[in-house]
Structure 1
Amino acid sequence: MTDLVDALTRWESSGGHWRVLTDADTTITVGLYTCDGGEEMERVTGEPDPAVRAFLAGRTRSDG
């Protein structure tokens, strides 16, 4: 599991939501939001490797 997938999984497990902010050939940036989806708490960036693509499965957010 990649660092980005790990971070998103932990965030969801804690009740938070995430949204893909940028998805480029070399990096993906994801915003981490409070449990109500209102306030951005942090941004995480990682490589769009196969594990990240499989985890996202075309999704751009965790709550949608």
Structure 2
Amino acid sequence: MTGAREAPVDVVRRWETSGGHWRVLSRSDSSVVLGLFSCDGGEEMHRLTAASAELDPLLAGQTRSDD
């Protein structure tokens, strides 16, 4: 184990590939907080906080993965 931090974009892509959903819980000029939800969208499993610059290209203005 290297202890290297996984890129937020990679975390979100892996989550979606596994069938999970995400929602933007809060957003500012500098950061985004995403809730990562189970495949049925019902239970929040994890929260991801990242710099806006890291996630904005992936989110493309969406507030949830099923937009």
TM-score higher than 0.5: yes
Structure 1 spans left out of the alignment, 5+ residues: none
Q: Stretches of 4+ moved more than 4 A in 1?
A: none
**Higher relative contact order (CA closer than 8 Å, sequence separation 6+):** 1
Query: Which one has a bigger Cα radius of gyration?
Result: 2
% of aligned pairs identical? 52
The Cα shift of 1:19 comes to: 0.3
What CA RMSD, in Å, does the superposition of the two structures yield over aligned residues?
A: 1.3
Please report the TM-score for the alignment, with normalisation by the length of structure 1: 0.88
Please report the TM-score for the alignment, with normalisation by the length of structure 2: 0.85
User: Does the alignment pair 1:6 with 2:17?
Assistant: no
Structure 2 spans left out of the alignment, 5+ residues: 1-5
Distance (Å, rounded) in 2 between the aligned partners of 1:32 and 1:52: 14
* SS of alignment partner, residue 55 of structure 1: helix
